[in-house]
Structure 1
Amino acid sequence: MDTATPQEASALTYRDAVEADVPALVPLIESAYRGDSSRSGWTTEADILRGQRTDADGVREVITKPGSRLLVAERDGELTGCCQLEHRGEAAYFGMFAVRPGVQGGGVGRQIMAEAERQARETWGVREMHMTVITVREELIAWYERRGYRRTGETTPFPYGDERFGIPQRDDLCFELLVKPLSGAV
């Protein structure tokens, strides 16, 4: 768990990722979700999925796709977290959210999410933020609910057989759409 004070946590700076960031972003994202390193944080998926969470091509696609960006959070020049923002009409999609495991639990994720919501609202004038979460991730869903997201009951199947998304360790995985209205939307 992070021992950073609120003043330290507020020292994050934000920028859009560029292709030169891909070699650093892939291990950050992997470390937050997969393998033993992810177990030091609370966002691990290591017990439900093995294999990769993403790869260089997947990260590069988010960075270069029109209407998409990968927001990077840094503290003292060190990559601390990131998230995908994609413009989808009156909503923005929030994904590829990762916070370095050693700083999880200290408010960094909450700050990154708030900045992502602010930027999506101000840049695109969207009214809602959408995300999908694996339904068995109850603790993670509860964290999002405390930040104003609501479960919709709308699910999509997990892409079983496509190892680009990991190797499932159970047969009941699916994604649920979570939605948050963004106040002050233009």
Structure 2
Amino acid sequence: MPTSQLTFRSATGTDVPGLVALIESAYRGDTSRGGWTTEADLLEGQRTDPDGVAAVVANESGRLLIAERDGELIACCQLEHRGDHAYFGMFAVRPTLQGGGLGKVIIAEAERTARDAWGATEMRMTVIRQREELIAWYERRGYRRTGELTPFPYGDERFGIPQRDDLEFELLVKPLGG
């Protein structure tokens, strides 16, 4: 897919319903199995909800970056300015478009935005450590595993219903060159 057809912008409140649908489709349920980023074998239930997405959109120290092609929402990611670094999360690409290089373009734009808008020198993210294929994808983009683990929020169904009892998040980091 030619990247010249992509446009990027910050999300607004009117984007929330479409963003929730995109994020859910990339991570949960049968639709997510059309791509390779599904968490459906690890988690059931919701990945996010309108209130959670609206909070990210309204956060003054961040933005929810949207990628559109011909006016159609096809990908998004959260960026949050946290001092000398930026946090990257809520990354979703429409399942039918996964595997074609779009994710690489989105993450590169997120890194550029964090560096240029905030002077961030590092990007950080947390990934479920059992998602080895996804972590390997991030490693190929220059992220490194830190071994720093945080527990999954068991009992909080806003983050999904775990299908196993050993889920943890691992911190991944990447220096952002100037």
TM range (shorter): over 0.9
Any residues of structure 2 matched to 1:94-105 within 5 Å, and which? 94-105=88-99
* Alignment match, 2:46: 52
Residues in 1 aligned to 2:33 and 2:18: alpha-carbon distance in whole angstroms: 20
- 1:25 and 2:35 matched: no
Percent of counterpart pairs with the same letter?
74
SS at match of 2:74: strand
- 1:132 and 2:126 matched: yes
CA RMSD in angstroms, aligned pairs only: 0.6
* TM-score, normalising length: structure 2: 0.99
1:154 deviates by 0.3
Residue by residue over 1:31-63, the C-alpha shift from the partner in whole angstroms, topping out at 9 and shown as x without a partner, is 000000000000000000000000000000001
- 1:68 and 2:85 matched: no
1:10 deviates by 3.8
Q: Which residue identity lines up with residue 96 of structure 2 in the other structure?
A: G
Residues in 1 aligned to 2:22 and 2:126: alpha-carbon distance in whole angstroms: 20
1:66 deviates by 1.7
Residues in 2 aligned to 1:167 and 1:180: alpha-carbon distance in whole angstroms: 30
1:11 deviates by 1.6
* Alignment match, 2:30: 36
Q: Which residue identity lines up with residue 169 of structure 1 in the other structure?
A: Q
Residue ranges of structure 2 left out of the alignment (5+ in a row): none
Residue ranges of structure 1 left out of the alignment (5+ in a row): none
Residues in 2 aligned to 1:52 and 1:14: alpha-carbon distance in whole angstroms: 26
* Alignment match, 1:177: 171
Residues in 2 aligned to 1:12 and 1:43: alpha-carbon distance in whole angstroms: 21
1:142 to 136, 145, 148: 136
1:77 deviates by 0.7
SS at match of 1:116: helix
Residue by residue over 1:65-118, the C-alpha shift from the partner in whole angstroms, topping out at 9 and shown as x without a partner, is 120110000011110100000000100000000000000011111100000000
Residues in 1 aligned to 2:69 and 2:104: alpha-carbon distance in whole angstroms: 15
Q: Which residue identity lines up with residue 15 of structure 2 in the other structure?
A: D
Residues in 2 aligned to 1:96 and 1:46: alpha-carbon distance in whole angstroms: 16
* TM-score, normalising length: structure 1: 0.95
Q: How many residues align?
A: 178
1:167 deviates by 0.1
